Amino acid sequence: MKCFLNLLRSRTRAFALAVFVLSLGSAISALGELPSWIRNIEASSALEVAFFRMMSLPGGAVLFRRPPRETRPALADLIKSQPRNADLYSLRALEDEQQLDFAAAESDWKSYVDNSSDKIGAQFALADFYHRRLRPADEIKTLSLIANAAPIAAERLTPPAQQRSWQAFERIFGVIQAQGLAKDDSIAQYRAQYRAWIARYPQEQSLYARFLQYPVAQKEYAAAGQLIADYRK
């Protein structure tokens, strides 16, 4: 009888240990699948409480990811106490998207731009939101604000192609070509944007040859001729 009880206890402990290992493995696996903005949250912080719930398992307590329906109200409470904290708006915007509340997400992304110390980076994040929502006109409008913003002092010695204004222009033309805008709209956007790009980087003569490819591909020979005339000037 004693041997039987010892065997039963051993098997019970082994079973509990197996459950704990499996649970821990699942938790670690889930953590690895979490987005980077959640994985990098500081331990024992208010944000950790907002995003994670402590749950008891046979081997001990483990943190589990809260669903957006719980994180959004928690983040709203944090925003009330820290209304100028831009990161809180971006975190809630991402949770808004997870819950498919895109109107709230757009509002939070705009609040992120308003409160961020890095306006350019925040505007890129807003443009990324519009890109995910397949809203090319809004994406181009946001990217245009970046492209035409005043030169950044920290980029004074940065090669043009590595400057954020240049990268915004790159994205604009990528959107024009990829999103299948109406021909008249795309040509109008193309003309306006290439003139702005050249005005921003007048010494980059390679831009003229690059821009010539699009109107020729669209058989807009009048626009191509105008571009050649501009280059001659």
3-state SS of the chain is: CHHHHHHHHHHHHHHHHHHHHHHHHHHHHHHHHCCHHHHCCCCCCHHHHHHEEEEEECCEEEEEECCHHHHHHHHHHHHHHCCCCHHHHHHHHHHHHHCCCHHHHHHHHHHHHHHCCCHHHHHHHHHHHHHHCCCHHHHHHHHHHHHCCCCCHHHCCCCHHHCHHHHHHHHHHHHHHHCCCCHHHHHHHHHHHHHHHHHHCCCCCHHHHHHHHHHHHCCCHHHHHHHHHHHHC
Query: Taking Cα atoms as reference points, which of 194, 174, 176 lies closest to residue 184?
Result: 176
Query: pLDDT digits over 100-147, tens only?
Result: 999 999 999 999 999 999 999 999 999 999 999 999 989 999 999 999
**pLDDT score for 74:** 94
pLDDT > 70? residue 182: no
pLDDT > 70? residue 30: no
Beta-carbon contacts of residue 119 (< 8 Å; ≥ 6 apart): 113, 149
pLDDT > 90? residue 60: no
Most confident of 103-112, 193-202, 207-216: 103-112
* Alpha carbons within 13 A on the beta-carbon side of 6: 3
pLDDT > 90? residue 193: no
> Mean of the pLDDT values across residues 161-176?
91
Beta-carbon contacts of residue 65 (< 8 Å; ≥ 6 apart): 30, 34, 38, 51, 52, 53
Higher pLDDT, 101 or 181: 101
Cα 90 off chain centre by:
9
Share the mean pLDDT of the chain.
79
Higher pLDDT, 13 or 144: 144
**pLDDT score for 23:** 42
> Mean of the pLDDT values across residues 18-45?
52
**pLDDT score for 8:** 39
**pLDDT score for 218:** 66
Give the global pTM. 0.75
Higher pLDDT, 132 or 173: 132
Query: Taking Cα atoms as reference points, which of 67, 69, 93, 66 lies closest to residue 79?
Result: 93
Read off the pLDDT band of 44 (50, 70, 90). low
